[in-house]
């Protein structure tokens, strides 16, 4: 629904449920009108009952969060988009984050928006009082121009930036620049993320590689090193499906369906008997945590620190930084990414093979661990697909035979569903439902 500021304020005053909720616009209206002509602001109301790490221990209150976000779809108005989509354009994907105190997020967003308005960038850029978290795509000259501009600010001068090739053009449909209550999945604003001692110690990729030598059990259980200390390797990514396409040797598959349900070290043996942190010595156990880009581990390490775990280590820059620095040593498979590419081979992070990785999603030599969700046979293409049944949309790995037999669906029930999309092969991704409905 399209609302002007006046209309939005009337709704806020008329609704008792929303009367106490401030209407936050990251940019003054005057400059918004000037910059984006007369197109009204697009307000979205989000009401959620987020419970970060809610299983089995509830760390948040039950009070629903109501917020208004600003989303502009008239980015780069008046520019010639065909210019940006020429075959010769070198598109990349950029990821970075930084936990740092930002006193006035609204003013900060206004500065960023002013700079970004002339750049062909699409993605997610979130800012709040705890810092910034960004994932976006664009032509390399535009994508890197934003990085260089950001580094001129001393708060972000040494920020670690991860760059990987885009497959085709943009990896995101539009640009979202928002003042979000949480930089990462809802419900982390109460965590002491701005206090470095409360976070785990970040290890350089070479240090991480040495630490992995202490992991001798193939299941990622606690193992004793020569020094007599125990060491546990944790995959702290969003869900098990990320592990399914690639992981460090010795890491157990996460038994969660989303990051906010991660419960390592938060339960007792009766509630979660498979928790590798149950009954471990919190003083003498080294806990190594890794994720895609580093932010999840930083967040979760503060939770474990509050639970009394002393020796916490994270992989600086996440797996993407490790693959760039150390290659595939101790790593098997591809790396799952949360954009239209879904999966990247380790070679994508090697500068010598960027051009090839940009056009051809390569398959690693070792794919023996990857199994078809339907028939449990070995899968050679380490890239998920969505179920063709729109009302299921399950993300799953599938062999070529099952794709054909079940028409791109995850099970026989979905094959007979009323809203089926066509079978997609290769690296194509499904579009919005109206595209198929209207055709």
Q: Are 410 and 150 in contact (CB under 8 A)?
A: no
Q: Are 230 and 224 in contact (CB under 8 A)?
A: yes
Instruction: Please indicate whether residue 375 is annotated as part of the active site.
Output: no
Parallel/antiparallel/unpaired status of strands 246-248 and 285-290: unpaired
* Catalytic residue (choose from 72, 231, 291, 387): 291
**118 C-beta neighbours (distance < 10 Å), count:** 12
The partner residues of 164 in beta bridges, in order of sequence, read 93
Concatenate the DSSP letters of all residues of 3-70 into one string: --HHHHHHHHHH-TTTTTS----SS-HHHHHHHTTTPPPBEEEEEE---TT-SSS--S-SPPEEEEEE
The partner residues of 265 in beta bridges, in order of sequence, read none
Token reading at 131: 């810092």
The Cα–Cα gap between 284 and 34 comes to 60
286 closest CA partner among 330, 232, 236: 232
The Cβ-side half-sphere exposure at 337, using a 13 Å CA radius, reads 31
Q: What is the largest CA-CA distance in the chain?
A: 68
Q: Tokens 């500065």, residue? A: 111
What does the CA dihedral 157, 158, 159, 165 come to, rounded to 10 degrees? Answer: 100
The Cα–Cα gap between 147 and 152 comes to 9
Q: Tokens 């616009």, residue? A: 25
The partner residues of 97 in beta bridges, in order of sequence, read 133
Write out the catalytic residue numbers: 291
């Amino acid at each position: 629904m399209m609302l002007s500021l006046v209309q939005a304020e009337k709704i806020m005053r008329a609704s008792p449920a929303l009367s106490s909720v401030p209407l936050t616009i990251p940019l003054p209206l005057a400059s918004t009108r000037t910059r984006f002509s007369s197109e009204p602001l697009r307000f979205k109301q989000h009401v959620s009952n987020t419970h970060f790490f809610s299983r089995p221990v509830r760390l948040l209150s039950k009070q629903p969060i109501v917020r208004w976000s600003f989303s502009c779809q008239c980015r780069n108005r008046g520019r010639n988009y065909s210019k940006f989509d020429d075959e010769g354009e070198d598109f990349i994907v950029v990821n970075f984050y930084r936990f740092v105190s930002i006193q006035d997020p609204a003013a900060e967003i206004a500065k960023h928006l002013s700079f970004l308005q002339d750049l062909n960038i699409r993605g997610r850029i979130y800012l709040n009082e705890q810092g910034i978290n960004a994932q976006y795509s664009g032509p390399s000259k535009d994508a890197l121009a934003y990085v260089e501009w950001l580094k001129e600010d001393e708060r972000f001068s040494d920020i670690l930036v991860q760059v990987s090739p885009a497959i085709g053009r943009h990896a995101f449909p539009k640009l979202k620049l928002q003042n979000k209550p949480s930089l990462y999945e809802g419900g982390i604003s109460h965590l002491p993320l701005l206090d470095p001692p409360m976070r785990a110690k970040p290890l350089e990729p070479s240090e991480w590689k040495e630490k992995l030598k202490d992991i001798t059990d193939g299941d990622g259980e606690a193992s004793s090193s020569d020094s007599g200390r125990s060491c546990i390797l944790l995959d702290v990514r969003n869900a098990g499906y990320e592990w399914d396409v690639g992981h460090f040797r010795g890491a157990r598959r996460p038994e969660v369906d989303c990051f906010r349900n991660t419960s390592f070290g938060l339960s007792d043996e009766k509630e979660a008997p498979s928790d590798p942190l149950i009954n471990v010595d919190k003083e003498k156990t080294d806990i190594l945590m890794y994720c895609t880009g580093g932010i999840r581990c930083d967040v979760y390490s503060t939770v474990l620190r509050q639970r009394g775990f002393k020796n916490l280590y994270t992989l600086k820059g996440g797996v993407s930084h490790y693959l760039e620095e150390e290659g595939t040593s101790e790593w098997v498979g591809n790396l799952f990414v949360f954009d239209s590419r879904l999966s990247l081979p380790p070679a994508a992070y090697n500068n010598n093979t960027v051009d090839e990785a940009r056009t051809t999603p390569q398959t690693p030599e070792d794919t023996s661990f990857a199994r078809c969700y339907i028939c449990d046979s070995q899968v050679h293409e380490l890239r998920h697909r969505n179920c063709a049944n729109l009302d299921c949309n399950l993300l799953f790995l599938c062999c070529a035979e099952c794709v054909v037999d079940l028409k791109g669906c995850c099970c026989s029930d979905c094959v007979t569903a009323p809203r089926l999309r066509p079978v997609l092969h290769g690296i194509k991704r499904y579009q919005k439902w109206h595209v198929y409905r209207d055709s």
